[in-house]
Structure 1
Amino acid sequence: MRKQPKNNIAPDAIKAWRITASIFMVILWLIIIAGIVVSVIFHFPIIYSGIGAVIGLVCIYVFVFLIPKLRYKRWRYEIFEQEIYIQHGILIVTRTIIPMIRVQHVDTEQGPILKKYNLATVSISTAATTHEIPALLEEDASQLRDRISTLARVDEDDV
């Protein structure tokens, strides 16, 4: 098996992913609180509310604290002249090789949370699918986008 790719994404990815997860957890807790209110109004057993609250606390730990660290540790990439090598996953590690000849276009994307930390995502499109390298520093993302675009163009001209 091939060695894992060398390059890591930006360490601030953990912060950005935690903020995103926190937003989803706020929504989950609003649903849990609504469930508690409904159970009090309609006199349902309080045990269901307690179970919902415990599940909510476990979700906060898993999705806000545990998963972002694990995602960061596993996300790696490397750019070669003939291919792009991406590794990601938490329980199941996926290693993807994208031939440069298949690359149709490359974009950088940046939402408000990534912008706060000066991060951007590089999106690589082929005919079949789109692959992403998330949470790179803005400057690195721009350079990577330009490099992939140049390498993909050179490969197309050779064919």
Structure 2
Amino acid sequence: MRQPPKNTIAKDAIKAWRISAILSVGILWLSTLSLGILSFIFDWTIWIPIVAGLISLVSTVVFVFILPKIRWRRWRYEVFEQEIYIQHGILIVSRTLVPMIRVQHVDTKQGPILKKFQLASVTISTAATTHEIPALLEEDASELRDRISSLARVDEDDV
């Protein structure tokens, strides 16, 4: 079996993913609070908001505190002359080889949360799908984009 890729994504990815998770879980907490208020107003059973609160609490712990760190540890990538090797996943580890000859274009993208931590993601498009290497330092993302682009062009010229 092939050795796992060597390169990791930026450590600040954990912080960025936690902020994204907080925003998502915040919606769940607002729903739980609304359910509690409705339960009080309409004199529903107290168990409905209690169960919703427990679900919100467990979701917060899992998605904000546990998963981002595990996700960061599992993300690996490596760029070779003929292929790009990407490994990610928590329970199910996915190992993807993208042949350079199949690369159509490479982009970097950066949302407001990634921008706050000076991170960017690299997306690699093929005819079949798009692969993403998330949360790299801006400079690393630009260098990686340019390197993949030049390697993909060289492979096209060879064909």
Fold-level similarity (TM above 0.5): yes
Match of 2:73 in 1: 73
Gap runs ≥5 in structure 1: none
Aligned partners of 2:94, 2:38: CA distance in 1, in Å? Answer: 43
Q: Distance in 1 between matches of 2:72 and 2:97?
A: 19
State the TM-score, normalizing by the size of structure 2: 0.99
Q: CA deviation at 1:19?
A: 0.3
How does the TM-score come out when normalised to structure 1?
Answer: 0.99
RMSD: 0.5
2:44 pairs with 1:40: no
For structure 2, list consecutive stretches of 5 or more residues without a partner in the other structure. none
Distance of 2:48 and 2:94 partners within structure 1: 38
Matches within 5 A, 1:15-30: 15-30=15-30
- The Cα offsets for residues 26-58 of structure 1, whole Å up to 9 and x where unpaired, read as 111001111111111111110111011011000
Query: Partner of 1:14 in structure 2?
Result: 14
Q: Percent identity?
A: 69
Matching residue of 1:152: 152
Q: How many residues align?
A: 159
For 2:156 and 2:43, locate their aligned partners in 1 and report how far apart those are by CA, in whole Å. Answer: 68
The list of structure 1 runs, each at least 4 consecutive aligned residues, that deviate by more than 6 angstroms after superposition, is none
Deviations 1:43-96 (A, max 9, x none): 111011101101100000000000000100000000000000000000000000
Q: Which residue does the alignment assign to 2:132? A: 132
